[in-house]
Amino acid sequence: MSQVRKNDHSLMKVLLGPVISEKATMVAEKNEQVVFQVIRDANKSDVKQAVELLFKVQVDSVQIVNQKGKPKRYGRFEGRRDHTKKAYVSLKPGQEINFEAEAN
C-alpha cells in the first residue's frame, strides 16, 4: 500500500490547470517551462510539491505571477474579472510533462 502523506489531498487542489496560450507555448519552447493556473494562496513550495506528486517529474524552480483582473463593463455596470495566479515551472534537464499521455 502506498504511503499517503497528510497534505497530499491539499496538494491535489493547488493546480487548477495548464495555461494554453501563445505566450505559454513560446515560454515552453524557449525556456523549457510549463505554465499552470494555481489557487491564489499557493506558494512556490506548494506548487513544486504538487507538480512532483501529480506528474512524477523533478522540478528545478518555480516562479509565481499574480495577475490582476481586468476592469470590465457590462452595459452600464462596471465590474472586474477575478485576480489569478500563475506558476512558471522549470523542470530539471531530461524531464518533461506530456499532457496528452496524462489524460488517457
Query: What is the per-residue pLDDT for 70?
Result: 94
pLDDT in tens, 15-62: 999 999 999 999 988 988 999 999 999 999 999 999 999 999 999 999
Q: Is residue 97 part of a domain?
A: no
pLDDT in tens, 54-93: 999 999 999 999 999 999 998 999 999 999 999 999 999 9
Candidates 44, 49, 52, 31; CA nearest to 87 is 44
Q: Is residue 42 part of a domain?
A: yes
pTM over 0.95: no
Q: Is residue 99 part of a domain?
A: no
Cβ neighbours of 48 (radius 10 Å): 19
The three cell numbers of residue 56 are: 512524477
Number of domains in the chain: 1
Q: Is residue 25 part of a domain?
A: yes
Domain that holds residue 57: 8-91
CATH code: domain of residue 50: 3.30.70.330
Candidates 92, 84, 70, 75; CA nearest to 39 is 84
Query: What is the per-residue pLDDT for 41?
Result: 94
Q: Is residue 96 part of a domain?
A: no
Q: Is residue 98 part of a domain?
A: no
